[in-house]
Structures are given as C-alpha cells and as structure tokens.
Amino acid sequence: MNTESLFWIKSSYSSNGGNCIEWAPSHASATGTIPVRDSKRPSGPVLSVSPRAWAGLVSLARSADV
C-alpha cells in the first residue's frame, strides 16, 4: 500500500498534545480495511484493521478516562 498518496485524517483528540492517530477513510471505503498510523511518524508503519476492529478501537477510546 502506498500510504503517501492517501488522504489522512487526524483523530478528533489530536488537541491533547500531539499524541494521536490518523486514518484514511477513502481507502477504507474503497477496500474495506482501515489504515491507521501514528501522526508523529507519517512515514512509519501502518496498521490495517477491519471495520469491526476499528469500531472496537473507537469505542475503547471513547470510554477511556481523559
């Protein structure tokens, strides 16, 4: 996967000091897998997860104490 050509969106929690993730929704729509990366390392590794796994990650993040 060429991640440089993807349009990445930062987490809505990115105002917490820069510790956040990014995901590429257009790739997710086209392929059914969600690429996720560390916003501080855009050329670093990318984790691809299923929609179900992504929903679980989002749910966990929302339930965490901030």
pLDDT given at position 53: 94
This model's pTM is above 0.85: no
pLDDT digits (tens, 9 = 90+) for 9-65: 987 665 555 668 899 999 988 999 999 999 888 889 999 999 999 999 889 888 876
Evaluate if residue 66 carries a pLDDT over 60.
no
- Residue 62, sorted as left (phi over 0), alpha (psi -120 to 50) or beta, turns out to be alpha
**CB of 32 closer than 8 Å to CB of 49:** no
pLDDT given at position 3: 73
In the chain, where are the structural domains located? 3-63
